[in-house]
Every structure is written in structure tokens, then in C-alpha cells.
Amino acid sequence: MDNVNVVRHPLIQAKLSKLRDRDTGRFQFRLILEELTALMVYEITRDFPVQRISVRTPLETMEGVELARPVVLVPILRAGIVMLDGVLSLIPNAKVGHVGVFRDAESLQPVEYFVKLPPDLGEALVIVVDPMLATGGTAAHAVSMVRQRGASDVRFLCLVAAPEGVRAFRRVHPEVPIHTAALDRQLDEHGYILPGLGDAGDRLFGT
């Protein structure tokens, strides 16, 4: 599929298998989800531009680098919030915006209930995160919210995607790259991903 990057690193695939396992408890689920996010971020930031800086080691001055553009991380509430620490462990000075969008259980349409974003989105590299890309409605809506507020360089990071969700997202945002650890088979009649990992929010928060 166009503009979809499935990261097949062995560590990522091994951790994802553990996350999928129904016997993985809440505490471990949360830890693995954070670790997996950090590994994914390491992979997907390879093309981030850097700028040269001067660094003084204890012995002499040398040329080093730093990220050239600010990074803004936008977790989609509520499961996306747990991915935050995974990203911040690698990019600690990233700014964080929040968007609250949930999927109406009957219509499966996105409903917006909260938005708070940093002001300078135009120059930032924006990563919108949610563990699951299911119908694609919520993710597409969240990315639209971010773009309407000035973001021009946006990528979407999830851990498990469904083909239906990728196609729906693509129709709205053909140029926004999707990074995922897995592209699963299909959605069931309730909008859950098969084989998937169940309801990420419920497994994280015990709801």
C-alpha cells in the first residue's frame, strides 16, 4: 500500500506478539506498548533533518548535530496517551498537543471532544499517535484537526493497522505517511481489528 511503512524489525515484531497475547496483563501491556513506541520512533525518525552544532568535549571542541526542527507529538486520547512516554524517552523536548476524538459505537464516526495544540505547528515535525488504526475515521479526523491548525509536515504512527483503515485514511490524507508495526487482516463487524490485540484502551486502563 502506498505511503505505508510496516516496520518489520525483529525486536518490534517480538514485542508486538507479546502485546497481542491475551494473557499479557495490564502492567506488562503498558510497558511493552511504551517500549514498542520508542523502537518505532527510532525507526521513523531516520529522515528527520539535523543541523550542525558545536560541542565541547572534555578535551576539545567538535562539530555535533541536533534535530533541526521542533517535534510536536499529538496523542489521540485516550490510548494514544500511553505512547507519549515512549516518544518522550527519545525526544524529551518534544512539545505535546492533545486531541480527543472517539469513535461512536453505533455509527463508527469520529466525535471530537477536546483539542489543545502548541501554537507553532507550521515549522514542526508533527507525529500523531494512536496504537490502533481501525476504521481510519478517528485518525483521519485527528490529522485534519492538526493540519487545519497549520501543521504541514505530519506523519501518523500506530502499532496495528487494518487495511480498511489505511484505505479510509489514504482517501483523506494521501500524502501523510502511515508508520505501523503490523498491517492486519481485516476489521470485524464491530470495527475491531483481526487478529489485532483487542481494545487497547480497555487493556491499558482496565475499563
- Nearer to ligand URA (CB atom), residue 157 or residue 200: 200
Rg (C-alpha) for the chain, rounded Å, is 17
Please identify which residue in 39, 132, 154, 157 interacts with ligand URA, judged by CB under 6 A.
132
Please identify which residue in 32, 134, 145, 168 interacts with ligand URA, judged by CB under 6 A.
134
Give min distance, CB of 25 to ligand URA, in A.
17
Tell which positions 164-193 bind ligand URA, by CB under 6 A.
191-193
For residue 76, report the phi and psi dihedrals to the nearest 5 degrees: -85, 120
How many angstroms separate the CA atoms of 101 and 141, rounded? 8
How many angstroms separate the CA atoms of 65 and 55, rounded? 9
- Nearer to ligand URA (CB atom), residue 16 or residue 134: 134
Name the one range near ligand URA by CB under 6 A: 1-9, 41-49, 90-98, 197-205: 197-205
Does the footprint of ligand URA cover residue 199 (CB under 6 A)? Answer: yes
- Nearer to ligand URA (CB atom), residue 42 or residue 192: 192
How many residues touch ligand URA under the rule CB under 6 A: the total is: 9
Does the footprint of ligand URA cover residue 200 (CB under 6 A)? Answer: yes
- Nearer to ligand URA (CB atom), residue 75 or residue 201: 201
Q: Please say whether the beta carbons of 95 and 124 come within 8 A.
A: yes
Nearest to 118, CA basis, from 87, 73, 76: 73
How many CB atoms lie under 10 A from the CB of residue 33? 24
Compute the CA torsion angle 4, 44, 140, 107 (nearest 10 deg). 80
Nearest to 16, CA basis, from 201, 130, 182: 182
- Nearer to ligand URA (CB atom), residue 72 or residue 159: 159
Give min distance, CB of 69 to ligand URA, in A.
31
How many angstroms separate the CA atoms of 194 and 165, rounded? 12
Interface residues with ligand URA (CB under 6 A) are: 132, 134, 191-193, 196, 199-201
